[in-house]
Amino acid sequence: MRPGSPSAYWDGLDIRLGFAPQMMNGQPCLHALDLKKTLEPLLKGLSLSCLKTNPTIVIDPGHGGQDSGAKSVLGSRYEKEFTLDWARRLGSLLATNGWQVLLTRTSDLDLSLTNRIAFAEAHKADAFLSLHFNSSAPNDQQAGLETYCLTPTGMPSTITRGYNDDPALAFPNNAFDAQNLRFALQVHRALLQVNGRLDRGVRRARYLGVLRGQNRPAILIEGGYLSNPREARRIADPAYRQKLAEAVAKALE
Ligand SMILES: [Zn+2]
């Protein structure tokens, strides 16, 4: 990390601090919340500690039904189709590895964020993983992987997207700040190995409604940009989506 920048690198991974480190009296200083909520979880190790054998994971394919999500720059194909296929592929791999796997939707269905949370709650899920693809249209240059977890209380978010980001807010999912970050890094690291190391960082946000109310470690992956022709072409390839699924499954072994 360096003074004046919220960007930091951990073992080759791009992570975002809540506060830029400052020089004070000639000493580099890190905010106490970054020490507690970023550095400590990292130093304690990267593994998502599972509470029991055969843990239950809820995989959430983003969007569905009327809500198509992002449109591919290559034509009339949408995020909702690709997230569902990625989720299905990942689900069967995780089931083979001993996870109890549930998908919030298994067809082209409209599902509210509240219902996605209620589903995980009803099935007492041990982990929650929401799958998305990104868009920066009409900009077709932006590309790469972003992995999100909920911002710890007291910290500003990496990204707010117009949401009134009040650092004082505390959500149920904040009970899992440390596990969220470890979960995010574990999956992010594995996915970078298949996406050509296009790293847009592990980020923290409060505006992602599907994460806030979760009573379990929860992350959201933006697996690439459908607005970038090169990435859109890869995402449209079933063999590439299989690689994305294999990477996440390996990260959760
Ligand atoms: Zn999405």
Tell me, what's the pLDDT at 159?
A: 84
Q: How far apart are the C-alpha atoms of 219 and 148, rounded to whole Å?
A: 6
Tell me, what's the pLDDT at 160?
A: 83
Tell me, what's the pLDDT at 49?
A: 58
Tell me, what's the pLDDT at 44?
A: 84
**Could you tell me the distance, in angstroms and rounded to a whole number, from the CA of residue 201 to the centre of ligand 1?**
17
**Could you tell me the distance, in angstroms and rounded to a whole number, from the CA of residue 65 to the centre of ligand 1?**
13
Q: Which of 41, 30, 40, 27 is nearest to 5 (CA)?
A: 30
Which tens digits make up the pLDDT trace of 84-118? Answer: 999 999 999 999 999 999 999 999 999 999 999 99
Stretches where the chain sits below pLDDT 50 are none
Tell me, what's the pLDDT at 4?
A: 95
**Could you tell me the distance, in angstroms and rounded to a whole number, from the CA of residue 64 to the centre of ligand 1?**
10
**Could you tell me the distance, in angstroms and rounded to a whole number, from the CA of residue 33 to the centre of ligand 1?**
29
Tokens of 246: 């294999």
**Could you tell me the distance, in angstroms and rounded to a whole number, from the CA of residue 69 to the centre of ligand 1?**
5
**Could you tell me the distance, in angstroms and rounded to a whole number, from the CA of residue 115 to the centre of ligand 1?**
16
**Could you tell me the distance, in angstroms and rounded to a whole number, from the CA of residue 171 to the centre of ligand 1?**
22
**Could you tell me the distance, in angstroms and rounded to a whole number, from the CA of residue 79 to the centre of ligand 1?**
7
The CA-CA-CA angle for residues 18, 24, 29, to 5°, reads 35
**Could you tell me the distance, in angstroms and rounded to a whole number, from the CA of residue 20 to the centre of ligand 1?**
29
CB atoms within 10 A of CB 76: 7
Whether the Cβ atoms of residue 149 and residue 206 lie closer than 8 Å to each other: no
Q: pTM for the full model?
A: 0.94
Mean pLDDT value across the chain = 94
**Could you tell me the distance, in angstroms and rounded to a whole number, from the CA of residue 134 to the centre of ligand 1?**
6
